[in-house]
Amino acid sequence: MATKPDSVFRSLDRKAAAIVEFTLRQYRTRTSTWVVLGVGFTALALIFLIYIDVMASEFESVDNDGDSFDTDGDGYPTGQERKLGTDPFSDESHPGMFDPPIEPEPASKYINEDGFDWDVTASFGEQSTGYDDDGDCLNSNRTASQKDTNENGIPCDIIIQRSTSPTGEIVIQIFADEGVDEDPDEDAYTREAIHLGFVLSIGKLGFVLLLGIFLPLFMATGLIRDEMTSGTMHYMLAKPVARTEVFLYRTLGYLGIVWPYVIVLGILGALVSGFVGSGDDFFRFADLGVWLAIVFATMMATLVYGMLFNALGVLWKYGIILAIPFAAWELGMALLSMGAPDATILRFSVIGWALMIIDSVAMMVWPNLDTFILMGEWGGGGQGSDIFGSSSLQGSVPLSFFSSKPGLGLSAFASTIVATLVLLIQAVVFWFIGGALFKGKEIQ
């Protein structure tokens, strides 16, 4: 019958393409497909709206070091007096007595006047960084020992020290000279932290967890089972196609609708966060790498869960009930991976590996993410900028929760490759299990 020579495409045009195409068309005719896809879209759209709203709001700027106040009532803010070397606690001493006299500066100039100037390169050991922008440390009136309170011989710097505790955990300590980087810009930091935290959290929870589990739960569980129940499986099995192949091609058909959907939502997310996100640029191109990782991780998750849930559907008429404990387990693992990304138990989950892809790529795309979180948690080193008396900047705690380090001890790139391979192996294993179950199934 074949008169033309066979190309790869002509070969695939036969059984595989027929079942994939058939499955796609079958999804299209079902209301449930559109309901599931619509609910997923609505849920994510709501989160995007909340994000847009947050990014549009102002964050209160806090004067961490209190130098915008005029403590002694001489009309000069403390910061200006410190910089110029007069006594901020005495109205007898102020820059107005200089020759020529210096006019007082507005107090607002001494809010957020000393931001982070961190350039952290060492991943281990001790490093000196930071710069005193407002001159309250480098002030010429101060003695050498006053300028070097952390006693490393460098005046007005910050020491970041990474060491290993006896239990093997990495401990980071920050020793800052008094008055260095002590009054950062809260609004800018919080805006950036919320943006990064949003991209990571919607990527991990919204895409990988929500879409990654619920799309397969509702769309893959019945791939084989529904046909078996309705009796239409007879048509397919009366053809010279191995059941394992039917299982595979049906799953591919499911991916044919789920993957484009995930990609479209990913593009939407990248556009929204790229335009609305913090920063002076018109569009945040740097984040696209992370969005790519989010879409890829979600695609891998829908692949593995698709195979798994399809197999569960073959196993039992009410396969969706079997799938629910898996979904609960994966939810637990997702939360665990954010708190304890090193936990060995994560290796026995799907989502642990999928999230590792996002974390690894985030490490590559945002190389300063760790430092950024560190800055926020240190927050200028002052006391009491929030109700817990911690100096941490707003946004740093959630960001630190949602970002974690891939716990394999490998480089970010290697972790991405390993995680992808593990997910592919999981998919193949579930395919074989599902195929074997289907092969042994008697169909009435």
Partner 1 sequence: MIPDFDQQGQAQTKEWTPEVQAPAILLENVSKSYGRIFALSNITLALNGGVTGILGMNGAGKSTLFNLLMGKIKASQGSIKLFGTNPWKNPAPYARVGFVPEHEKMYDWMTAHGFVSTFARLNGLTRDEAGIEADRVLEFVGLTDVAYKKIGEFSKGMRQRVKIAHALVNDPELIILDEPLQGCDPLARTTIMNVIRELGKMGRTVLVSSHILQEIERITEQIVILHQGRLLALGNLHSIRERLDQIPHRISIEAENPKALAKDIIDIDEVFGISFPDGRNVSIQTHNLGAIHARLPKIIVENGHKVSSIDNPDDDLASILGYLTSGGRV
Binding site for partner 1 (CB under 8 A): 1-2, 6, 10-19, 21-22, 25-26, 29, 230-232, 234-245, 248, 432, 435-436, 442-444
Q: In angstroms, rounded to a whole number, what is the distance separating the alpha carbons of residues 58 and 267?
A: 27
Q: Of 240 and 409, which has the nearer Cβ to partner 1?
A: 240
Q: How far is the CB of 264 from partner 1 (least distance, A)?
A: 24
Q: How far is the CB of 227 from partner 1 (least distance, A)?
A: 10
As a whole number of angstroms, the distance between CA 299 and CA 199 comes to 17
Q: Which is nearer to partner 1, 11 or 32 (CB)?
A: 11
C-alpha pair distances (Å), 102 with each of 79, 81, 92, 139, 389 = 14, 11, 15, 17, 36
Considering the complex, what minimum distance in angstroms separates the CB of residue 441 from partner 1?
Answer: 9
User: If 0-12 CB within 10 Å is exposed, 13-18 middle and 19+ buried, where does residue 300 land?
Assistant: buried
First vs last C-alpha separation in the chain: 34
Q: Using CB atoms within 10 A of its CB, is residue 54 exposed (0-12), middle (13-18) or buried (19+)?
A: middle
Closest to partner 1 by CB, 21 vs 178, is: 21
Least Å distance, CB 252 to partner 1, is 10
**Least distance in Å: CB of 291 to partner 1?**
33
Q: What is the largest CA-CA distance in the chain?
A: 106
Q: Residue 273 and residue 284: Cα distance in Å, rounded?
A: 8
Tell me how far, at minimum, the Cβ of 436 lies from partner 1, in Å. Answer: 8
Q: Residue 217 or residue 246: which is nearer to partner 1 going by CB?
A: 246
What contacts 328, CB < 8 A, 6 or more positions away?
none
φ, ψ for residue 162, nearest 5 deg: -110, 125
C-alpha triplet 82, 88, 90: angle, nearest 5°: 150
234/317 with CB nearer partner 1: 234
Please, which residue, 17 or 335, has the CB nearer to partner 1?
A: 17
With respect to partner 1, which residue has the nearer C-beta, 115 or 222?
A: 222
Q: Which of 299, 303, 287, 294 is nearest to 266 (CA)?
A: 294
- In this structure, are strands 158-164 and 125-129 parallel, antiparallel, or unpaired? antiparallel
The CA-atom distances, in angstroms, between 21 and each of 8, 34, 303 are 17, 18, 18
Identity of the residue, 34 or 285, whose beta carbon is nearer to partner 1 in the bound complex: 34
Nearer to partner 1, 146 or 244 (CB): 244
- Give yes or no for a cis peptide into 104 (omega within 30° of 0): no
Q: How far apart are CA 136 and CA 14, in angstroms?
A: 77
CB of 311 to partner 1, least distance (A): 14
CB of 29 vs partner 1, minimal distance in Å: 4
Give the nearest distance from C-beta 223 to partner 1 in angstroms.
Answer: 15
The nearest distance, CB 243 to partner 1, in angstroms, is 8
Instruction: With residue 127 as reference, give the H or E element that holds it.
Output: strand 125-129
The residue (of 237 and 331) whose beta carbon lies closer to partner 1 is 237
